Copies of this chain bind each other. A is one copy, B any other.
Amino acid sequence: MNGLTHSEIITLLVALGVLLGTARLLGELARKLRQPAVIGELFAGILLGPTILGAVWPSAQGSLFPSEGPLPVSLHALTTVAIMLFLLVAGMEVDLSTIWRRRRAAMSVGVGGMVVPFVLAFPLAWLLPVTMDAGVHASELTFPLFFATAMAISALPVVAKILIDLQMFKSDIGMTIIAAAVFNDIVGWLVFALVLALMGRAGEGGPELWQTVTMTLVFAGVMLTLGRAAVDRALPWLHAHASVPGSVLGFAATGAALCAAFTEWLGVHAIFGAFIFGIALGDSRHLRQSTRETIDQFVSFIFAPLFFASIGLRVDFLQNFDLLLVLIVLVVATVGKVGGCVLFSRFTGFQRREAWAVAFGLNARGAMEIILGLLALEAGLIGERMFVALVVMALVTSMTSGSLMQRAIGRVKPVRFWDFAGPRQFVQAMSATDRDGAITELAAVASAVSKASLDAEVIAAAARARERLVSSGVGLGVAVPHARIPGLAQPIVVIGRARRGIDFDARDGQPARLIILLVTPLENAELQLRLLASVAHVCEDEAAVERLLSAANWTEFLAVLNENA
C-alpha cells in the first residue's frame, strides 16, 4: 500500500465534507444558543460516530468512517496536523507580558485554582482506580497524577472568548483571569508531559525518563527566551526580504511541525511543541495582525472543527456514559477549581463578587480538557468511561461559565437592537410622509407582530408623547421613536425606510430615511437605554447608514448590521 485508491479518495472526500459541514453547522447552532462553537462541533462527531449514526445505521457509519485500512490512517494524519495547528493558535493567544504584569495576582489565583482541585482529586483516583476507570497502561502513580492534572487545568481559548463577549477582556479582572489561565495551561501541560514520560515509551528508541524531563524543561525554557528573541528577529527579516504573508505563514507552519516532532520524540506529545512555538511566535510584536488572523481563522474554522468532530467518531458516548463517574468528576472539578480560586483571589485583594467571577471564569475547561482526555485515552491512561466523563465535564463547565460570571459580576452582554427585529418587522419602503404618519405606520406593524396583541394606537400615542419632549431624530438621516408599554414581555423593534426622508427635527436638519421604532417594557428603563445605545453605535457611521439604506432585503440589511456590530 503506498497511496489511496480511486474509491478510497471518494470516501475520504465525502467523509471530510460531511464531517466538516456537520461540525460547522452545529457549531453555528451552538453560537446561536450563545454557547461556544466547540460544543456543536463535538456533537457533530457524536452524531456521525458510533453513538448515533452507528446505532441507527451501522452500515453507512462503517463505510463512511471505516475503522481499518488506509482511511483511518489518513484521518489520523489529518487530525494530527489539525490539532498541532490548533495548539499553535492557542499558543499564539498567550501574552507573556500580560502574565508578567499581573504576575502576583495571577500566580496566587493560578496556584490556588490548581492546588485545591489537585489535592481533592489525587487521593480519590489513588484509592478508587476502578471506579474512576483507570486505563490499562496506568500505574498507581500516573493515573492519580493525570486525573489531578485534568481537574486542575483551565481552557484559555474558551475563557478568552467569554471575556471578549462580556467586554471584560482588558479589565483588571479579565487580565488576571487570562494570566492565571495561561499559568494553569503551561503548568498543566508540563505535568502531563511528566506523566507521559513516567509511562515510558520503551522499545521505541526514545530517550530515558530523566532525559525527557530535563530536555522538556530546557526546550520550554530555551524557546521562551532565546527562541522568542530569534522569532522576533526573524519576522522583520522575512518582512524585509521575503513575500508577506507567505513567508511568515510558511515559517509558522514549519516551525510548529518541527517543534512538534521534537517534543513527540522527547515523549511528551507533539502538541506541546506546537503550543510552545505558538507562544514564542505570538509574542512577537512584529507578527502582523493580518497574518495572525489568517492563521487563526483558517485553523479555527477548518482544522479545529474537523479535529473536534473526529473525537466523537472514536467513542460511543451513550454506552460509556457512567452517571456516577460523570457526577464525581463534575463535582471534584468544580468544587476544587471554584473553591480554590475564590479562596486565593479573596486573599489577593479582590472583592467578593469579583472573586466569584474570577473563579467561574477559570472553571471553564473547554477544548484543552478534551484534548488532554483524548491523549490519555490513546495512551491507555484512562478508559472510555472516564474519557466521556471528562468530555461532559468540559462541556458543562464551558457552557455555564459565561452566565455564572455575568451573574457574579452583574455585567450583561451588550444588547443589539436587531436581535428583536426580523423580516416581518422590516418595512422596505414606508408610505408615510410625516412624523406622525411614520409612527402610526410602524406602530401598526409592531401591533401586528406582538404576541400579546398590543393596540397599535397605544404604542403610537406613547411614542408621540415621547417625541413631544425631545425629538428622536439622531442625525445622519436616522430617527429612533420609542415607547414604553406596561406589562410587555419582550421588546419589539420595527425598522422602516423612507426613500424621500421624513422630517424628524434632527439637530443636523437631515430628514430621516431610516426610522427605528423601539417598543420596550415600561418596567425596564435600562433596556430602552441599551437599545438606544445600540442604534447609536451602528448609526454613527455614515457609510454604514448608507449601506443599510441600499440593502436589497432584510438578509442584506442584517448582514450590514452584523458587520458593524
| A interface residue numbers (CB < 8 A to B) | 1-7, 9-10, 12-14, 16-18, 20-21, 23-24, 27-28, 31, 37, 67-70, 72-78, 80-81, 84, 201, 204-206, 236-237, 239-247, 249-251, 253-255, 257-258, 260-261, 264-265, 270, 293-295, 297-298, 300-302, 305, 555-556, 558-559, 562-563
Contacts and interface: CB of A to CB of B under 8 A. Distances in A.
A205 B8 CA distance: 13
A12 B77 contact: yes
Contact of A260 (B7, B13, B74, B298): B13
Nearest to A273: B13
A72 B3 contact: yes
B258 A300 contact: no
B264 A13 contact: yes
11 contacts: A9-B270, A12-B80, A16-B81, A17-B261, A21-B254, A24-B250, A74-B74, A74-B77, A77-B77, A244-B562, A246-B300
Nearest to A1: B73
A32 to B, nearest CB: 8
A442 B185 CA distance: 54
Contact of A270 (B13, B239, B261): B13
Question: Lowest 6 A-B CB distances belong to which pairs?
Answer: A24-B250, A74-B77, A17-B257, A240-B558, A13-B261, A239-B559
Given A24-B247, A245-B297, A294-B293, A72 B236 contact: no
A170 B70 CA distance: 47
Given A4-B73, A7-B205, A28-B247, A555 B17 contact: no
A204 B7 contact: yes
B241 A558 contact: yes
Given A13-B270, A78-B78, 4 more contacts: A12-B80, A31-B242, A240-B558, A250-B301
B264 A9 contact: yes
A302 B68 CA distance: 29
Given A73-B4, A261-B13, A563-B244, A297 B297 contact: no
Contacts of A251: 24
Contacts of A31: 242-243
A230 B67 CA distance: 36
A257 B293 CA distance: 24
A205 B11 CA distance: 13
Nearest to A299: B298
Contact of A4 (B6, B80, B255): B80
A523 B545 CA distance: 56
Q: Is the interface of A mostly helix, strand, loop or mixed?
A: helix
Contacts of A250: 20-21, 23-24, 27, 301-302, 305
A37 B246 CA distance: 10
A230 B7 CA distance: 29
A247 B32 CA distance: 13
B4 A204 contact: no
A204 B558 contact: no
A246 B80 contact: no
B4 A76 contact: yes
Contacts of A258: 13-14, 17-18, 21
B240 A69 contact: no
A237 B264 CA distance: 43
Contact of A297 (B5, B7, B249): B249
Nearest to A233: B555
Nearest to A80: B9
A329 B255 CA distance: 40
Nearest to A252: B302
A75 to B, nearest CB: 8
Contacts of A201: 6
A313 to B, nearest CB: 11
A236 B37 CA distance: 21
Nearest to A76: B3
A544 to B, nearest CB: 14
A242 B28 contact: yes
A163 to B, nearest CB: 18
* Most chain B CB inside 10 Å of its own CB: which residue of A253, A260, A295: A253
A257 B306 CA distance: 13
Contacts of A239: 558-559, 562-563
Contacts of A558: 239-241
A297 B246 contact: yes
A335 to B, nearest CB: 34
Contact of A254 (B24, B246, B297): B24
Contacts of A295: 298
A246 B293 CA distance: 12
Contacts of A37: 243, 246
Contact of A301 (B10, B28, B240, B249): B249
A23 B294 CA distance: 20
A492 to B, nearest CB: 20
Contacts of A14: 257-258, 261
A6 B67 CA distance: 19
A200 to B, nearest CB: 11
Contacts of A243: 28, 31, 37
A261 B4 CA distance: 14
Nearest to A242: B28
B261 A10 contact: yes
